[in-house]
Amino acid sequence: MATLEIEGKVFEVDGDGFLTEPSLWNEEVAMLFAKNDGIEEMNDKHWAIVNIIRRNFDEKGNAPMIRTICQETGLKLREIYELFPLGPARGACKVAGLPKPDGCV
């Protein structure tokens, strides 16, 4: 099991840097993971995306479709890609503390 150290805090992660234990996630973890991926400060839009992903995960056990994220935040697709340059999976889902989704992502 790999570990990731950000600002003195150590997290257990998979090889791709996704949190191994999603229940350990909290807002501070989100901010640290975002910073580690080059997002210096989480703005309201970042939080809106992350909160929807997190809620979907708590309710359904997986990441929401990008359509759900767009509809519930009112954000355009391209805005989401700009807010999380690594994309909804490797970017946003990682910050939201989800396991890495299966498939070509």
22 in Cβ contact with 56 (< 8 Å): no
Dist CA 2 CA 89 (whole Å): 19
Active site annotation includes 70: no
Q: Which of the residues 75, 84, 104, 105 is marked catalytic?
A: 104
Q: How far is the CB of 102 from another protein (least distance, A)?
A: 4
Q: What is the rounded distance in angstroms from the CA atom of residue 70 to the CA atom of residue 25?
A: 23
State the nearest-atom distance from the C-beta of 91 to another protein, in Å.
9
Minimum CB separation of residue 23 from another protein in Å reads: 19
Please list, residue by residue across 49-65, b when 16 or more beta carbons sit within 10 angstroms of its beta carbon and e when fewer do: bbebbbebbeeeeebbe
Q: Which residues bind another protein (CB under 8 A)?
A: 14-18, 37-38, 62-63, 65-68, 70-71, 77, 85-90, 100-105
The residue among 28 and 62 lying less far from another protein, judged by its C-beta, is 62
Of residues 28 and 71, the one with the C-beta less far from another protein: 71
- Determine the Cα–Cα distance for residues 59 and 80; give it in Å rounded to an integer: 22
Catalytic residue set: 104
